[in-house]
Amino acid sequence: MDAKTAALEIMNSAIESADPYRAVRRSINVDGNRMAVFGEEFSLSGKVYLLAFGKAACSMARAVVDLLGERIEEGVIITKYGYAEDCPKLRRLKVIEAGHPVPDENSLLGGKPGLELAEKVEENDVLLVLISGGGSALFLLPERGITLEDKIRTNELLLKSGAKIYEINTVRKHISAVKGGKLAKRVRGRVISLILSDVVGDPLEAIASGPTVKDPTTFGDAFRILKLYGVWEKLPESVKRHIELGLEGKAEETLKEDLPNVHNFIVGSNTLACESALAKAKELGYNALLLTTTLEGEAREIALAVGSIVQEIARYDRPAPKPAVLIAGGEWTVTIEGKAGLGGPNQEFALSIARKIYGLNAVVLAVDTDGTDGPTDAAGGIVDGKTLGLLREAGMDVEEVLRRHDAYHALEKVGALLRTGPTGTNVNSLVVAVIPKGL
């Protein structure tokens, strides 16, 4: 098959492997009044409550409903707009769609009943918490005195600052009433969290800002991050005041110890997706290399680094001989200063690497596994050795486009946008580079 078709097949294999429904089903076994999660057994003799939030909330919840059905006493599911189609149809489940990456009023409609649900859980009951990417914005309840508008403004400033996801989550946790283990603090019964990781390296405390996990970060860390990225002086006064109270020891810190009634399990991750992509590439007959599952940095810069390896293979058959496939996973960012165009980190990655692979027999795609890259309808971009020439023929100055962060319109102009639609999962981003034989 041609290189573009191979790249798409490899991508699809990765996304399918991170399917949240399958991830939950393969993790749980129910036998009578006993439930085992990765072999660890729990009693279901009391009531079972369900709280799911994130882009994959509906698929994960559907798996639990298929396993437990009418045992579920009550539940709240919060997911992104357009992602609720896959939600289970059970009368006692409340389904809420809300904004992501920027939270909105509906995020509060999920945060409040979600916390109320947690507080209903008695000592012999079980609260199943299903967490996936996007949970920080979708499951939202600001600390007292902080308005939704102030929270949104803070979120926008952080997203545009170039801060890494774990740094953004450090701040989110310290202005939230549910994140940083604060949700777990409110539950008297057993908490079982099934987590689909969207954070590089899978640190539990960073995924959806760790609502059921102890948190090693402090108000001091949040303050340092806000100062480091030039956000502190732009913050709403209510947010600044709360963090200042925290620094003085006058506001509640995040959870700092393991709670014996709380159990957290990772059921899917970028590592699994990358390993599936690797297997598919080998199945298709390519010499495949998995470079890393922890790739981070500024999208346009790390694209040049990956592009250099593509060049090396195309010209010198090293570090792998052609036909070859390179796979990398992680989370890249875009730092925006001033007015910006339209795009996302994966689109910017694709546009940037198009410069490095110009003239080569190679195809590279960069995709957000949830199907949405930035505030656009595209999942990323797919480029080859001809893309840069086509952009120039269309009168586009790629360097200027990158400076304005307008990758979406540039890639759209030459048919290089990658659209998958909502995938129902979210395990970071993925790069697949296919280098066939011949220059």
- Residue 327 pairs in a beta bridge with 290, 432
Percent of the chain at pLDDT above 90?
82
> Which position has the token pair 């960073």?
206
- The enclosing H or E element of 28 equals strand 28-31
Instruction: Report the distance separating Cα 256 and Cα 251, nearest Å.
Output: 14
pLDDT at 3: 97
Nearest-10 Cα torsion for 101, 107, 110, 113: 140
First to last CA, the chain: 17
Task: Enter the pTM of the model.
Answer: 0.79
pLDDT tens-digit profile of 329-366? 999 999 888 788 999 999 999 999 999 999 999 999 99
Give the model's confidence band at 103: pLDDT under 50 very low, under 70 low, under 90 confident, else very high. Answer: confident
278 phi, psi to nearest 5 deg: -60, -45
Nearest-10 Cα torsion for 201, 203, 208, 210: 180
For residue 195, give the amino acid letter.
I
422 pLDDT exceeds 90?
A: no
Instruction: Report the distance separating Cα 274 and Cα 291, nearest Å.
Output: 10
95 phi, psi to nearest 5 deg: -110, 130
Crossing angle of helices 165-173/148-161, nearest 10°? Answer: 160
More confident residue, 282 or 91: 282
Query: What residues does CATH 3.40.1480.10 cover in the chain?
Result: 270-435
Instruction: Report the distance separating Cα 378 and Cα 164, nearest Å.
Output: 22
More confident residue, 278 or 18: 278
Helix, strand counts (H, E) of the chain? 16, 15
Evaluate the omega torsion of the peptide bond into residue 319 and state whether it is cis, within 30 degrees of 0: yes
Length of the chain counted residue by residue = 439
CATH code, 270-435? 3.40.1480.10
Average pLDDT over residues 316-322: 97
160 pLDDT exceeds 90?
A: no
Report the topology of domain 18-268: Rossmann fold (3.40.50)
More confident residue, 135 or 320: 320
Given a contact cutoff of 8 angstroms between Cβ atoms, the answer to whether 136 and 205 are in contact is no
Average model confidence (pLDDT) across the chain: 94
397 pLDDT exceeds 90?
A: yes
pLDDT at 439: 64
Query: What residues does CATH 3.40.50.10180 cover in the chain?
Result: 18-268
145-156 b/e (C-beta count within 10 Å ≥ 16 → b): ebebebbbbbbe
